[in-house]
Amino acid sequence: MNSSSLFSVLNRELRTALMKLLQLLPIGNVDDGLLRDLRPVIEETFLVHCQVLPVRLDPEFAFHGERQQYHSSEILHRMQSFLTGDTWRMLGIAAVDLYIPILTFVFGEAQMGGPCAVVSAHRLRQELYGLPHDPELFRQRVIKEAVHELGHTVSLTHCDDYRCAMAPSHAVERIDLKERTLCSACRAVVTPVGEGPLTPYF
């Protein structure tokens, strides 16, 4: 796909968001308060209406005993059964530890250019690393990973700018270096010059 076609696809997708919802799906025993806290932040960041779904996805079908972890790709596939005509994007927030077979763990996974993404809060907590609980740091990490995975759903790839939300993160220290917004280069892909009001989505 050439640059002009990609710009067209991305802007059509983002314009659609004005009429649809970004839905948050709780997965497993994730704290309901986390989703309530995320909702206004995501609405402010993406300028789209955000809805916390009243249902909950039990992730046990994706548990693999040999890893003692949950396969994120299987969760993404199951999430599609929750999509409705009102869905722009669906972001699952999970309390469990996620993985894909080629990696030890993942903070999240998304369907590139697709409707679903999932973020795991499990490894974003300071307590996992023997450090005191830091609720604000935890909240910021979840937000950054949410923006990152949702960026993939609008076809953004990983960015070389370590401050960009689309920079890859293989450790929480890298997440802490990032901002929750896109760099100018990634923003330009999502919102070509002259398209105007779409910029605030990220």
pLDDT digits (tens, 9 = 90+) for 131-190: 999 999 999 999 999 999 999 998 899 999 999 999 999 999 999 999 988 898 888 876
Phi, psi angles (nearest 5°) of residue 151:
-60, -40
Pick the catalytic residue: 149, 173, 179, 195? 149
Q: How far is CA 12 from CA 5, 7, 125, 150, 198, in A?
A: 11, 8, 36, 16, 10
Size of the chain, expressed as the number of residues it contains: 202
Residue with token string 């997708």: 13
pLDDT above 70 coverage of the chain, percent: 85
Alpha carbon distance 26, 7 (integer Å): 32
Is 186 in contact with 159 (CB distance < 8 Å)?
yes
Max CA pair span of the chain? 52
109 belongs to the catalytic site: no
Higher pLDDT, 36 or 97: 97
Domains of the chain: 3-193 (3.40.390.10)
Alpha carbon distance 191, 202 (integer Å): 10
Q: What is the mean pLDDT of residues 88-101?
A: 95
User: What tokens appear for 129 in the block?
Assistant: 């690393």
Alpha carbon distance 25, 83 (integer Å): 10
Is 67 in contact with 94 (CB distance < 8 Å)?
no
Question: Residue 197's Cα: distance from chain center in Å?
Answer: 22
